[in-house]
Amino acid sequence: NAGVTQTPKFQVLKTGQSMTLQCAQDMNHEYMSWYRQDPGMGLRLIHYSVGAGITDQGEVPNGYNVSRSTTEDFPLRLLSAAPSQTSVYFCATTFTGGLNTEAFFGQGTRLTVV
């Protein structure tokens, strides 16, 4: 049982390049989210999805695009990478049983934009 799998683990991009960070889950959770982690700022929500075909913006969505065609996959696209997008990115899924909103995280993707 893999849980939440993110690829790649590391990536270096040049300014202006585009790329897709992959996230796949085998937990059959409806809710999936993308966060970025920056020093001293904790994790900030980029985009989230409540199910296949439904996505919405989080706190810091600019420069990122998402889609959710299946329950299992939730890719994050950087349209034109900027140095400000250098960060560690985490994908998470959530099981919601009433108030039991525990999130499960992937191992992260460390992205550097030069």
Instruction: Give me the numbers of helices (H) and strands (E) for the chain, helices first please.
Output: 0, 11
Distance of CA 6 to the CA centre of its chain: 9
Phi-psi region of 93 (alpha: psi -120 to 50; beta: other; left: phi over 0): beta
CB of 71 to another protein, least distance (A): 13
Region from 16-24, 63-71, 77-85, 88-96 binding another protein, contact rule CB under 8 A:
88-96
98 binds another protein (CB under 8 A): yes
Q: Give residue for tokens 């049982």.
A: 1
Tell me which residue of 91, 60, 58 sits closest to 76, measured CA to CA.
91
27 binds another protein (CB under 8 A): no
**Interacting residue with another protein among 70, 102, 112, 114 (CB under 8 A):** 102
**Interacting residue with another protein among 13, 81, 92, 111 (CB under 8 A):** 92
Cα 20 to Cα 73: distance, rounded to the nearest angstrom:
12
Nearer to another protein, 3 or 83 (CB): 3
Site for another protein, rule CB under 8 A: 4, 29, 31-33, 35, 40-45, 48, 50, 56, 58, 90, 92-94, 96, 98-108
